[in-house]
Amino acid sequence: AQKVTQAQTEISVVEKEDVTLDCVYETRDTTYYLFWYKQPPSGELVFLIRRNSFDEQNEISGRYSWNFQKSTSSFNFTITASQVVDSAVYFCALSEADTGRRALTFGSGTRLQVQP
């Protein structure tokens, strides 16, 4: 069973539109961490945010915001007023930590295209 599901394979928006990238996860651990990484066309993986399972506070960083809801096992990512530079593949990832494991399980990614 997939532990991290990103159902949106590709999203295309026009600049200045808001866009939400969905992430649904599955785990039996009580302690776990959720992450978002950005992979621009150049290929590197850029860390965006980490959330732990005990902190359901939403977070905002500039145009980026994250909504973590344990009740629906979701950790969604919203970009407000999207820009062309936001075009990338975005990966959600899970780390299950009850036994001290650190391996990240990635979703299959969502490719975001922001058109000018």
Partner 1 sequence: EPEVTQTPSHQVTQMGQEVILRCVPISNHLYFYWYRQILGQKVEFLVSFYNNEISEKSEIFDDQFSVERPDGSNFTLKIRSTKLEDSAMYFCASSELHLPDTQYFGPGTRLTVL
d(CA 4, CA 8) in angstroms, rounded, equals: 12
Is residue 85 close enough to count as binding partner 1 by CB under 8 A?
no
Minimum gap (Å) between residue 17 Cβ and partner 1: 25
Q: Are 67 and 74 spatial neighbours (Cβ–Cβ below 8 Å)?
A: yes
Minimum gap (Å) between residue 111 Cβ and partner 1: 10
Closest to partner 1 by CB, 19 vs 109, is 109
Size of the site for partner 1 (CB under 8 A): 24
Is residue 107 close enough to count as binding partner 1 by CB under 8 A?
yes
Q: Are 4 and 93 spatial neighbours (Cβ–Cβ below 8 Å)?
A: yes
d(CA 81, CA 25) in angstroms, rounded, equals: 26
d(CA 15, CA 18) in angstroms, rounded, equals: 9
Is residue 112 close enough to count as binding partner 1 by CB under 8 A?
no
Which residues are near partner 1 by CB under 8 A?
Answer: 33, 35, 37, 42-47, 50, 52, 91, 93, 97, 100-109
